[in-house]
Structure 1
Amino acid sequence: MTLPELQKQALQLPVSDRWQLVQALLESLKREAHPKLKQRNLSRLRGIAKSSTNTGETDPQEEYVTYLTEKYQ
């Protein structure tokens, strides 16, 4: 199948299917262009989820309850 044929068929798809196709193609291009990007970015995040109990600030459970209370008021 040639590229023009593929484009013509893709344009006949419903909008939601075209969005899924675009997303799949973009993810494929990202993986091929930057195969080690995820690994490098994750190493930068090391330690970001440390608990505040180590510093003696507040209780994580209390923070979560406060968060949920504010969210669902």
Structure 2
Amino acid sequence: MSFGLRSAEFAQLRLVGVSRRQVLRATGLDIPLALPWGALAAVVVGCVAVLLTTSVLASAVVVRGVEPP
């Protein structure tokens, strides 16, 4: 573990009953990941949808022989 603690220090904390989550919280590394991953997935899906739509519209314009503005 590289949370600013050596593995021996971490092992000692675990021996006295300190949970891994408590160690992470104390070192500022306890980040709830459920919300950020869901939001990131929504942004990625949205960007892919926009890119695909733009690509399809651009190819339709080129096929018809109309120059885009």
Query: What is the TM-score when the length of structure 2 is the normalising length?
Result: 0.28
Greater C-alpha Rg:
2
Which structure is higher in RCO with an 8 Å CA cutoff and minimum separation 6?
2
